Structure 1
Amino acid sequence: MNLCAICASTLSYVYLSYYTYKETGSLLYSQIVLFSPMVLPVLFVGQIYRLSDRVSPRTLLLLSNILALLVVVVVYSVLSTVVLVAVLGGVAIGTLDALQRVGRIVAIKSYFSSANVESTIPLTLTAQFIAGGVAGGTMTLVKGDMMPSHALAMTALLFSIASVASFLLPRAERLTATIIPAPHAGMLETFASLMKSNPPLRRSFWHFIIFVSIYQGFFNVSRIVLPAYVLGLSEGYVGALQAVNSVAALIGAVLYYKLTKGGRSIAPFSMAVVSAMFMMLAAYGGGLSSSYAAYFLYIFFFELAFFKLQSDVLLATPSTAMPLVASVQYAGVYAGMILTIFVGSLLVEYRGLLWTSVIFAGFYLVTGLLRPFGLSRSSNLANKWSRVERDEDA
């Protein structure tokens, strides 16, 4: 289910962005398509939270896939006539994708015990990394220009399979929220109260938001710009870069799983530093082989840090608060990515991709060093908090 749904969404983002760039010749329009999926999840975070809190993750995933199927049928049917419908398509698909991402996180917390969360995350979320490769691979396999009708056939099939798979998921009882501090407290008040009462979660949460916003924001800026603009390559190489990204992330997920199963821990800040080095090497654009190899390593080390930080958030979050934390987490990440994509697009336009990578990496590393808490310390606190929660459950 995850593989098909995320593959269809990723294929839509990449293809709609590339199609817009090809038809209009505007990098700005292309980047607008890329950040359009993140707009509504930020504006309607409260509605996403209430929906994910009131229905089971199975129902949430099923409805999201069915609605996404209807959206791609409409968007790709009129894309060749109205190019900028790609923006509306990105908004709709991105909102449904956000619902599914929240549903997956809630499902992990619902279906698995705290003791198994850290090793479960890479296995469950790896589908989104494989999906990027499949999406890229489909673009390289289509000979000549990939038409909207090709994209329609592939995405409709994938969302159909995902809908059936969602229906076959086991039923799980909906967790009843117990953390509301006052009878009429709103979502933000409830979230603020949770952050104040749970320091490990507060530290892990903000580390995750800052890290993913910057690093994945650069990924969204570069995955079209690097092959199509910096290296001047064709559509097939745009797809090939998605495959490089997926292979790197998949290998990172497998390694993370083996390390955690073996009792080994990962220092996310160190992984972020190494990832930043390869981010800048990839953006240098010295050639196809060197840029793509560096991009592989940039994503590989990014994923190691990502899995650790996501694990820390889940381990530090009480089960009944998972819909709230997951909803605000994705809204925060999307808001951060919108900002980095917008800033990155302007930087690419006037300073190039290399300087964009230097500024992004430098900002994160300085922020990490100047903050009054370290990534490794928050990880240890999150693990301690999770042990306390397991003791209370017992």
Structure 2
Amino acid sequence: MSNTLSTKKLTILIWIINLCAICASTLSYIYLSYYTYKETGSLLYSQIVLFSPMVLPVLFVGQIYRLSDRVSPRALLLLSNAVALLVAILVYSVLPTFALIAVVGGIAIGALDALQRVGRIVAIKCYFNSQNVESTVPLTLTAQFIAGGIAGAAMALVKGEMMPWHALLITATLFACAAIAAFLLPRAERSVSTGVPASTALIATFSALMKSTPQLRHSFISFIVFVSVYQGFFNVSRILLPAHVLGLSEGYVGLLQAVNSIAALVGAIVYYRLNKRGHRLAPLSMACASALFMMTAAFGGGFSSSYVAYFFYIFFFELAFFKLQSDVVLATPGHAMPLVASVQYAGVYAGMIVTIFLGTLLVEQVGLFITSIVFVVTYLLAIKLLSFGTRAAEQVV
């Protein structure tokens, strides 16, 4: 019974950290992007703010790995939120006089967000046994979707009246709550690597791990490709669909974020219940269903049809996401979790930077609907090549 209570306590604490930290980060990204667009009138600057959080996790993947390997997940989560609190105070204090500080804020908060994402994955691997991983991943991440919904709802409700000091008050409070919850996490022993490689040896170490664990290699690449394409399209469309394609006001940008979060939350609950009943979903089937609704939403037939389709696009995306993420965690040796998590997020962010950049250019040239078709075809071709490569490797073995 005590073990059950301990597991529940751990789940609740990680859930609170997710809720507060991700809500603060998401609100910052959306608000800073919108504020930049409002002050400069530049869609390019606005998009730069949106993908600026992904820059440092790609450039400093080695440093993120070494930090997550040497520092306990409890300390990592506590440190990340405390520093994020200080960054929020600085950025929102300067924002009214220098709007482009939003780019610096996006970069800094994004780097700390990446540290937390790695820390949360390491924490799940550290605190929970393998039997509970598949159900713990969606359960703890439900906070992420609620957080996004809260952030989006805030944008929708204020209808552009939110001032920087309002955003500062909200984000500072949330980061402080996340830091307190991280402080309450118990200290725990975990498997550590025998030696943390230098930056020059990081790629070689990771490559050796991939070669020695074929299941991890397949799960890892599948995850990177899927999230890079599908979440990349989400980042391209979450402002362009309501503002550019449908011609709606800024309040609908927040509403779309809320729709996304509700769909993701429903997906997490459905996945959790199906997993508990022993049902296993095929990621490719879920990805195909998601692609169909992605293209329907991007067609831009109207507010209702686009937003309903967007709901199901995200719902099926999450079903595939949870399965692929669980496969990665389960296939990773305990001592290698910090390495795999760090490279995973660096890979995803690098892929999303490319898809966001190319997607924005494509939208300007051919529109959002054709862009969605290009994204879907790219994903299906990549998965086909990956499947072909896996079968060829198995035949050689």
Same fold (TM over 0.5): yes
Residue by residue, what CA displacement relative to the aligned partner does 1:254-302 show, whole Å, maximum 9, x if unpaired? 0101111111100000111110111111111111111100000000000
Deviation at 1:373, TM superposition (A): 4.7
Instruction: Choose from 31, 50, 69 the match for 1:53.
Output: 69
1:352 corresponding residue in structure 2: 367
Task: State the TM-score, normalizing by the size of structure 1.
Answer: 0.92
Aligned mate of 2:186, from 170, 175, 183? 170
Shift in Å at residue 81 of structure 1?
A: 1.5
1:368 aligned partner, one-letter code: I
1:122–1:254: 8 Å Cα contact kept in structure 2? yes
2:95 aligned with 1:72: no
Deviation at residue 12 of structure 1 after TM alignment: 0.6
Distance 1:68 1:281, change over 3 A: same
- Provide the C-alpha distance between the structure 2 equivalents of 1:136 and 1:363, rounded to a whole number of angstroms: 29
Aligned-residue RMSD, C-alpha: 1.8
Q: Distance in 1 between matches of 2:125 and 2:41?
A: 44
For 1:175 and 1:197, the matched residues in 2 are separated by 19
Name the SS of the counterpart of 1:371 in structure 2.
helix
Q: CA deviation at 1:174?
A: 4.1
Among all aligned residue pairs of Structure 1 and Structure 2, give the percentage whose two residues are the same amino acid: 73
What residue number does 1:385 align with? none
Q: 3-state SS of the aligned residue for 2:387?
A: coil
- What 5-or-longer segments of structure 1 have no aligned partner? 382-394
Match of 2:253 in 1: 238
Listed one character per residue, the Cα deviations across residues 298-347 of structure 1 (whole Å, up to 9, x for unaligned) are: 00000000000001000100011000000000000000000001101111
CA distance in 2, matches of 1:261, 1:323: 27
Query: 1:135-146 to 2 correspondence within 5 Å?
Result: 135-142=151-158, 144-146=160-162
Aligned 8 A contact 2:160 2:251 in 1? no
For the structure 1 residues 4 and 83, does the alpha-carbon distance in structure 2 shift closer, same or farther, using more than 3 Å as the test? same
Q: Larger deviation: 85-94 or 15-24?
A: 15-24
Alignment of 1:189-200 (within 5 A): 189-200=204-215
Q: Give 2:28's aligned residue.
A: 12
Residue of structure 2 equivalent to 1:207: 222
Question: What is the CA–CA distance in structure 2 between the aligned matches of 1:270 and 1:303, rounded to whole Å?
Answer: 12
Tell me how far apart the structure 2 counterparts of residues 271 and 373 of structure 1 sit (CA, whole Å).
Answer: 20
Structure 2 residue corresponding to 1:87, chosen from 86, 93, 103 = 103
1:2 deviates by 1.0
CA-CA distance at 1:29 after TM superposition: 1.3
**Conserved? CA contact 1:53–1:175, under 8 Å:** no
Tell me how far 1:372 sits from its aligned partner: 3.1
Question: Is the CA contact (8 Å cut-off) linking 2:62 and 2:199 kept in structure 1?
Answer: no
Q: 1:315 to 1:22 in 2, by over 3 A?
A: same
Q: Is the 8 A contact 2:91 2:105 kept in 1?
A: yes
Deviation at 1:178, TM superposition (A): 4.1
- Which residue does the alignment assign to 1:328? 343
Moved over 4 A (4+): 182-185
Separation (CA, whole Å) in 2 of partners of 1:328 and 1:183: 14
Paired residue secondary structure (1:176): coil
Q: Structure 2: state its 5+ residue gaps.
A: 1-16
Aligned to 2:383: 368
- Residue 173 of structure 1 and its aligned partner are, at CA, apart by 1.6
Aligned length: 376
Matches within 5 A, 1:151-170: 151-170=167-186
| 3-state SS of 1:186 partner | helix
After TM superposition, the structure 1 stretch with the greater mean CA deviation from structure 2, 344-353 or 192-201, is 344-353
**Pairing partner for 2:139 from 115, 118, 123:** 123
Change (3 A) 1:143 1:226: closer
Give the Cα separation in 1 of the matches to 2:331 and 2:85.
35
Query: Of 144, 148, 153, which aligns to 1:132?
Result: 148
Which of 327, 339, 358 aligns to 1:343? It is 358
Out of 157, 166, 170, the position equivalent to 1:150 is 166
Q: CA deviation at 1:149?
A: 1.4
1:285, 1:206 → 2: CA distance? Answer: 32
The alpha-carbon deviation at position 20 of structure 1 amounts to 1.4
